[in-house]
Amino acid sequence: MVTFLLSIVILIIGYFTYGKVVERIFGVKDERSTPAYSMSDGVDYVPMGTKKNSMIQLLNIAGVGPIFGPIMGALYGPVAFLWIVLGSIFAGAVHDYLTGMISIRNRGAHLPELAGKFLGKTMKHVVNAFSILLLVLVGTVFVTAPATLIADLTPGWIGLGVIIAAIFVYYIVATLLPIDKIIGRLYPYFGALLLISAVGVGAGLVITGADIPEVTLTNLHPAGTAIFPLLFLTISCGALSGFHATQSPIISRTTQKEKQGRKIFYGMMILEAIIAMIWAAAAMSLFEPGELNAILNDAGPAAVVSEVSTLMLGAFGGTLAILGVIVLPITSGDTAFRSARMIIADYINVKQMKISSRLWIAIPLFVISVALTQIDFNLLWRYFSWANQSTAMIALWVGAMYLALQRKNHWIASIPAVFMTMVTFTYILSAPIGFGLSMNISYTGAAIITVVCIFAFIISLKKRLNTDTEIQVDDDLPQTA
C-alpha cells in the first residue's frame, strides 16, 4: 500500500516540477496566435476552453490502454509501478506535451507532417503508414473491448454483433461532424463517469486496506516472460504511448493559448498514469499472478475489470465502474478514426469543410476496421503494442530534433527516444509476430540499430545546423495583440 500511495504522490509532484521544467525548456509564447484562431474552419479548428480541452484530451488518450495494459502488466508484479511512474513523468508526459505543442507551432500538423519536417521527407511517408495502421488497429480494438463489456452487462438482451454495429454508427457520426457538436458536448459527461469509476476503485483499495505489494525488481510473471522488452510494450497507455501523438494534434487545433498546454498535454498524461496505477494495484491485490494469468488467458482483461469492479464496489457501484471503463475505449476509438481522417486529408491535401470530403476518406477506414473485428483480440493487441511504441519512439525523436535545432535541452526527449528505440527493436527482432530471433541476438541487433539511430540523429542535426542559414522550426502565424 505504501508503494501505491507514494507513487500517486510522486506523479502529482512530477506534474508541478518536471512538467514546469519541460514547459520552460520548450518556451511558451502566450502572445502567439494558435491554429484554433488563425486557421478556424468550424470543423477541426475550433477554439475551446482549457477544461473542455483537458477532458477531451484525457478521454482521447485513455482508451482501454491504461486499464487493460496495467492489468496485463500486473503479471510482472510491482515492478510495473516503477514503469508507470517513471515512464509517465520522464517519457510519456514529455512525449504528449512536445507533440501537442510542436503541432500548435506548426498549424496543427499531425505526426507524419512533423516527422517529414524534422526527420526527413522519407519519414513522412513511413510515419503516415505507421499512423494509419496504428489508428485503424486502435479503432478496432476499441470497438471489440467495450462491446464485450456491454455484452457482459446485458447478457442475452442484445447480441454482440448489434452492440458492435451501434458503436460503429457512433464512431462514424463523431468522425464526420465538427468537433464541438458531438465530442465537445458529450465528453464532459463521459469524463465525469470515468473519474467516478477510477476514484471509486482507488478509494475502495485504500478503505479496504487492500494487500497491494510493495515495490520490487523481482519478475513475478508466472510464465517467466522477461521484463525487457515486453513490460514496456504491455503497459503503454498509462506510461508512454505513441497513440497519444496521433491524438494531441486534434487538441492542438482547439487550444486557445500556448500556456494551457502543460495542463492539457502533460497534465492529462499524469492523470492517465494515476488511472493506470489504480488498475494495476487492483489486479495485483485481488489476484495471485497465476490466478490472474489464468483469467487473462481464459476470458481476457475485460473479465478482470468486471470482477474487480464488482468486488470493490458491489453490484451497483461495480456497474458504474464498468460503465466508466466502457467510456474510455469508445471515446478513444472515435477520435482514432477522426485522427486517421485528418492525417489522410493532410497527406493528400484535401480540405475538410465539406462533409462529402470527410465521408469518402472515412468510409474505407471503417470497412477495414469491420473486417479486423473478426481477428483474435490478443493478436490485435500484440500488433497494436508494437505499432504503438514504434510511433512513440518516432515522436520522441521528432521532439528531440525540434529542441536540438533551437539549441535547447533535447535530452528530455532524446534519452527516452533512445530507450524506446532499444525496446521496440528488441521486441520486433525477438517476437513471433516479428523475426522470432533468440533474445541474445535480439538484444545485440537492437543495440546496433539504436547506435545507428543515435549517429543518424547527430549527423542530421549537425548538417542542418551547419547548412541552414535560418532554421525554421515553427510556421509563421499572425501574432495576437
How far, in Å, CA of 299 to CA of 148, rounded? 10
Q: What is the mean pLDDT of residues 271-290?
A: 93
Does residue 208 have a pLDDT over 60? Answer: yes
pLDDT of residue 381: 63
Q: What is the mean pLDDT of residues 41-56?
A: 90
On the CB side of 422, how many CA atoms lie within 13 Å of its CA? Answer: 12
Name the burial class of residue 206, with classes exposed (0-12), middle (13-18) and buried (19+) by CB atoms within 10 angstroms of its CB.
Answer: middle
Backbone phi, then psi, for 479, in 5-degree steps? -90, 145
**CA nearest to 53, candidates 179, 241, 142:** 179
Q: What is the mean pLDDT of residues 389-408?
A: 94
**238, 72 in Cβ contact below 8 A?**
no
pLDDT of residue 481: 33
The whole-model pTM stands at 0.89
Task: Please state, as a whole number, how many other Cβ atoms lie within 10 Å of the Cβ of residue 459.
Answer: 10
Q: What is the mean pLDDT of residues 91-95?
A: 97
Q: What is the mean pLDDT of residues 160-180?
A: 86
pLDDT of residue 468: 62
For the record, the C-alpha cell of 385 comes out as: 503494442
**CA nearest to 77, candidates 240, 283, 263:** 283
pLDDT of residue 479: 47
How far, in Å, CA of 342 to CA of 110, rounded? 8
Band (322; pLDDT cuts 50, 70, 90): confident
Does residue 61 have a pLDDT over 70? Answer: yes
Does residue 478 have a pLDDT over 60? Answer: no
- Separation in Å, CA 275 to CA 313, 389, 445: 16, 20, 35
pLDDT (tens digit, 9 = 90+) per residue, 217-241?
889 999 888 899 999 998 988 899 9
pLDDT (tens digit, 9 = 90+) per residue, 422-470?
999 999 999 888 899 999 999 999 999 999 999 999 999 998 888 765 6
**CA nearest to 241, candidates 87, 33, 406:** 87
Quick one: what percent of the chain has pLDDT higher than 70? 96
- Separation in Å, CA 449 to CA 11, 241, 400, 425: 32, 21, 18, 8
pLDDT of residue 145: 72
Does residue 321 have a pLDDT over 70? Answer: yes
Q: What is the mean pLDDT of residues 160-177?
A: 86
CA dihedral 308, 309, 310, 314 (to 10 degrees): 130
Residues shown for the chain: 481
**295, 304 in Cβ contact below 8 A?**
yes
Band (477; pLDDT cuts 50, 70, 90): low
Class of domain 2-25+34-378 as given by CATH: mainly alpha
Average pLDDT, the chain: 87
Identify the sign of the CA torsion 387, 233, 253, 145.
positive
pLDDT (tens digit, 9 = 90+) per residue, 110-146?
999 999 999 988 888 888 887 888 788 778 877 877 8
Strand partners, 479: 32
Task: Please state, as a whole number, how many other Cβ atoms lie within 10 Å of the Cβ of residue 465.
Answer: 12
Does residue 27 have a pLDDT over 90? Answer: yes
Name the burial class of residue 170, with classes exposed (0-12), middle (13-18) and buried (19+) by CB atoms within 10 angstroms of its CB.
Answer: middle
How far, in Å, CA of 310 to CA of 319, rounded? 7
**178, 46 in Cβ contact below 8 A?**
yes
**390, 229 in Cβ contact below 8 A?**
no
Strand partners, 32: 479
